[in-house]
Amino acid sequence: MTSVDDSPELPPLPRDRMADFKEGVVPYLFVVPGLLLVFGILGYAVVGGAILSLNETDMFLNKTFVGLKNYRDVFSDPRFINALWRTLLFVVVSIALGIGMSMIFALTLYRVTRGKRFFRGLSLVPYFVSGVATAVMFRFIFTTSGGFANSVLSALGLPTPSWLGDPALAFMVAVLANCWFMVPFATLILLGGLQTIDREIYDSASIDGASDFAVFRRITLPLIKPMMGVSLIWVTYISFSTFDIILALTAGGPQRATELLSIYMFETAFLELNFGAGSVLMMVLLAFNTALSVLYLKVFVMGDHRRKLEK
């Protein structure tokens, strides 16, 4: 057994072309089929929507190129301004309420000692209820006569408002239904964040004499910031494109108080059969989501997916 210092010149082995080929092609065989399906459908839809938004369609769906006319029409329509404004308000109120509730629920679930698994499992149930069913259930809670809310209020001798007939109240009911559906997932994401915090940090902080509130503000919040971001983004997405809940709950009414962009888009395209204008609204929704996503990718996903692959 020796180690030879002067390496003998070896004739190079011919390249194994079959192996090279397999190595080059195999990974693509795995990943490309899905991509084709996803982009064949969803990618086409985006491109198709962009094209549609530049055309006018008649009853028989014949297209005529009209340039940016649809955009001018939509952007100058007071109904659009209303929908835009309602959507932004809906998103902001949903975020405030949704994240607040998620945070409280997550902290609660984190501290529960008995039946933790049960309560965790229970808390996710609304995530599995369809938007339409959520809307229907909330309608029956808030119907004027025979609804749960008014039954309770009248039993207490309180006034029984017409929840879904009043624009402001209906808007709040829509926000509540939306939160009911989206809070569970955000809660569990935040709970996950809380559970990754090493308990020794809390011990050390309490030895340092930090108050409960100080611990929450100075330790818990900064440490769950990434998870906070994820749930924030999620809540924003969901609220921005809420559709089934609103359509089945209020269909945009009363007096367009809950007519969000998605509802407006649906009605424009499928009830008024104005596909051009509908596509313009689709592009508006996409633009908002893309802007959000650039933020999302920058802050969370890039690092995350690199970490995933480089494990």
Partner 1 sequence: MTGPSSKKSGAGRSRTGPVRDWSGRFGRAALIGIPLAVLVVWTLTPIVWAVLASLKEPLEIYESNALLPANPTLAAYRKVLAMDGFGRWLFNSALVTVVATFVPLTISVLAAYGFARYAFRFRHVLLLLYLVPRIIPRVSLIVPLNSLMSDLGLINTYWVLFITYSASAIPLATWILVGFFASVPKEIEEAATIDGANMWNRLRRVMIPIAWPGVVTAGVLCVREAWNEFAFVLALVNESTMRTLPYQLYVLKDAMGVQDYAVYNAFTVLTILPLLLVYLLLERRVVDSIVSGSVK
Partner 2 sequence: MDAPFVALQDLRKSFGTTDVLHGINLEIPQHAFVVLVGPSGCGKSTLLRMIAGLEKIKHGRIVIDGEIVNRVHAKNRGIAMVFQNYALYPHMSVRENLAFSLEMLKTETSEVERRIKTAADILQLEQLLDRLPAQLSGGQRQRVAMGRALVREPKLFLFDEPLSNLDAKLRVEMRAEIRALHQRLESTTIYVTHDQVEAMTMSDIVVVMNAGRIEQSGPPLELYDRPATEFVAAFMGSPAMNLLRGRVVRADGAPAVDVGEGLFLPFDDRAGVREGMEVVYGLRPEHLAISPDPASGLIGEVALVEPAGWETHLHADIHGRRFRAISTERLDVTPGSRIALAPDPTRVHLFDGSSGARL
Q: Note the residues at the interface with partner 2 (CB under 8 A).
A: 1-5, 7-8, 10, 12-13, 16, 19
| Side chain identity at residue 83, one-letter code | A
Which partner from the list partner 2, partner 1, none does 13 bind, CB cut-off 5 to 8 Å by kind?
Answer: partner 2
| Residue from 233, 226, 234, 232 nearest 193 by CA | 226
**Cβ–Cβ under 8 Å, residues 92 and 147:** no
Measured from the CB of residue 72, what is the shortest distance to partner 1 in angstroms? 18
Which partner from the list partner 1, partner 2, none does 295 bind, CB cut-off 5 to 8 Å by kind?
Answer: none
Measured from the CB of residue 15, what is the shortest distance to partner 2 in angstroms? 9
d(C-alpha 47, C-alpha 234), whole Å: 25
Examine residue 178 and tell whether it contacts partner 1 (CB under 8 A).
no
Beta carbons within 8 Å of 47's beta carbon, 6+ residues apart: none
Which lies closer to partner 1 via its Cβ, residue 166 or residue 237? Answer: 237
Of 95, 170, 230, 257, which lies in the binding site for partner 1, with binding defined by CB under 8 A?
Answer: 230
Which partner from the list partner 2, partner 1, none does 270 bind, CB cut-off 5 to 8 Å by kind?
Answer: partner 1
Which partner from the list partner 2, partner 1, none does 19 bind, CB cut-off 5 to 8 Å by kind?
Answer: partner 2
Measured from the CB of residue 18, what is the shortest distance to partner 2 in angstroms? 10
Measured from the CB of residue 53, what is the shortest distance to partner 1 in angstroms? 9
Which tokens go with 117? Answer: 């698994």
Contact characters 66-85, partner 1, x per CB under 8 A? --------------------
Helix crossing, 225-240 with 275-296: angle to 10°?
A: 180
**Cβ–Cβ under 8 Å, residues 276 and 52:** yes
| Residues in the chain, overall count | 311
Binders in 22-61 for partner 1, by CB under 8 A: 24, 26-31, 33-35, 37-46, 48-49, 51-52, 57, 61
Measured from the CB of residue 3, what is the shortest distance to partner 1 in angstroms? 26
Which partner from the list partner 2, partner 1, none does 10 bind, CB cut-off 5 to 8 Å by kind?
Answer: partner 2
Which partner from the list partner 1, partner 2, none does 140 bind, CB cut-off 5 to 8 Å by kind?
Answer: partner 1
Examine residue 182 and tell whether it contacts partner 1 (CB under 8 A).
no
Q: Which stretch binds partner 1 (CB under 8 A): 65-73, 82-90, 161-169, 261-269?
A: 261-269
Contact characters 124-163, partner 1, x per CB under 8 A? xxxxxxxxxxx-xxx-xx---xx-x--xx-xx--------
